Amino acid sequence: MIQIGAPAAGLLLVLPIVTPLAGLLLLIGWGGRHAERIGISLLFVCLGLAIALASIVWSNQAPLSYWIGGWAPPLGIALKADGLSCALLLLTSVILVASGLFALGQFAIAGTPAPSRASVSFWSLALSLCGALNIIFLSNDLFNLYVALELLTFSAVPLVSLSGTRETLAAGLNYLLFALFGSVLYLLGVVLIYAAYATLDVSLLAQAVRPGPPLWLALALMSAGLLAKTALFPLHLWLPPAHAGAPAAASAVLSGLVVKASFFLVVRLWFDLLPGGPGAAPATMLAGLGAAAILFGSVLALRQVRLKLMIAYSTVAQIGYLFLMIPLLNGALAAGTWDALAWTGGWLQLIAHALAKASMFLAAGLMAEAAGHDRIDELGGIGRALPITCLAFCIGALSLIGLPPTGGFVAKWLLMSAAVRQGQTIWALVMVVGGLLTASYLLPFIARAFTAQPLTFTAVSRRREVLVLALAIGTFALGLVPPKPIEALEIGRVDQLKASPP
C-alpha cells in the first residue's frame, strides 16, 4: 500500500469528499438561479477527481491511504482507495453527471426561467449524495461510515418525496423508517466492536479480531442494518414505491447507486474485517436470501401494470445476484485460494446493473413524459415514437437478462463459472432461472413497444434521449472490455492468496 504523506498528495483522497459537500454551502449562499450551474459543475469536478485518483491507483497497481490531519488510527481516521473503490467512485460520478444533465431544466417553473424550490432541493441533494457515497467508498473507519450512511439516508429520502404528492410522501416515510432501523442496528454493532477492540479502523480490526460471541453478534447486527438499507428480501418493502414514485433522475441514482453502497459495506465487513471470510453458515444464509430475492422480485415484477414499478421490482431481484458472490468467495478462501472469477463477476454485476438500471429508469421517465403515464398496457408502439429511448431500454434489459455481449452477460457468466468450478451449482441454477424470469417480464414489453400500433405521443428532448442511450452503451461496452483492465478491481486484495487462472 502507498502511504501518502504530503498534504498536497492527500488531497487526492480528501477532495472527492470535500468538493460536493462544500458545494452545499455555495448553493445556500449563491443558489437560486445558479443552482443548476453550481450543481452540474461540481459533479463534473468530482468526475475529474475520480478519474485522476483511479489513474494513479491503477497505474501503480497499489492502493493509496491517507491519515486525515496526520493522525494515525486508532486516534485518527484513515482514507483508503483500492481498485474497487476507485471503480465505484467513477461509477458514482458517471451516473450522477448523467442524471444531472438529464435533470437540467426539469424543475424550472413552467413558463419562466426561474428555478423552483424542487430545483434547488434536487441539486443540493445530488451533491449531498455524491459526498456521502464518496465517503463510503473511501473511508476505513466504521463510525465514519455510520455518519456517511446517515448522510446518504437523509439525502435519498427527500429525493423520493421531491414531487410532494401523498404517495411519494408515504413512500419516503417508509424508506426513512427502514433506513433508521438499519442505522440503529449498525450503530449497535459498532458499539460492541469498539467495546471489544478499542478501535474502529477496519485494517487494525482485521489484525485484532478473534471469532467469538461478541464479534458474531456485532457483525449480525451491522449486517442486518445494512441489508435493510440494501432492500434485500424480505427487507425490500420500502424500495418499489420509493423508486417508482421518485422523479426519473432521482430513481436512476437511487436504484443505480444508493442501494449498492450498503452492499459494498456488507462485503467489507465480512471479507476485509474478517480476512478469512464469513464462514459457511453466514455465507449460505446471505446467498439464500439473495436467491429468494431473485425469484420473489422477478415474480412480482411480472405482475406489475406500471413500467416504473416493474423496473423497481426488477431492482429487488437483481440485488440478489450480488449476494451470490459471497459463498463463492468464502468457499475459495476456506480452501486457501482466491477466486478472481467470483470477485470480478460480482462487482461487474453491480456496475453493469447500475448503468443498465439508471438508463432504464431515465428511459421510463421519457416514456411517461411522452405518453403522460407509465401504464404498460397503454405504451404499445412507443418504440416507433421514441426509437432512441426504447433502444436504450432494450440494451439495459438485455444486460439484466444476461444476454451477450452485454456487461450483465459477462458478470453472470463469471459467477456461474465460479459456482460450477467450486461445485456450488445451486447458485448457477438460480442465476439461470432468474435470467429466464427477467426475460419473461421485459421481452413482452419490448415486443409490444416496437410492434403495436403507435398512439399519439408528445415529443421529448433529443438531448435527454442521447444521455439515456449513452448510459445503456456503457453497460453494453462492459461486455467488450478485455480481461486486463477488469483486473483493476483486484488491486488491494494482496492479503488474499490468488489461485492460478483457469
Choose among 278, 150, 276, 280: nearest CA to 223. Answer: 278
pLDDT at 499: 39
Q: What is the reported pTM?
A: 0.91
pLDDT at 110: 47
Block means of pLDDT (10 residues each) for the chain, 502 residues, are 52 89 82 79 93 88 82 82 91 94 72 60 89 93 92 90 83 90 94 90 87 88 93 89 86 91 92 82 92 93 90 92 91 73 90 94 89 82 86 93 90 91 91 93 89 74 88 90 77 54 38
H/E element holding 80? strand 78-81
Q: The C-alpha cell of 270 is what?
A: 465480512
DSSP 303: T
370-379: burial string, b at 16+ Cβ within 10 Å, e else: bbeebebeeb
pLDDT at 460: 78
pLDDT at 490: 81
pLDDT at 501: 38
Q: In whole angstroms, give the CA distance from residue 154 to residue 148.
A: 10
pLDDT at 290: 94
| Rounded percentage of the chain residues whose pLDDT exceeds 90 | 43
Span 112-124, pLDDT tens digits: 445 567 778 888 8
Span 53-86, pLDDT tens digits: 998 888 888 888 888 877 778 878 889 888 899 9
pLDDT at 267: 92
Q: In whole angstroms, give the CA distance from residue 32 to residue 35.
A: 5
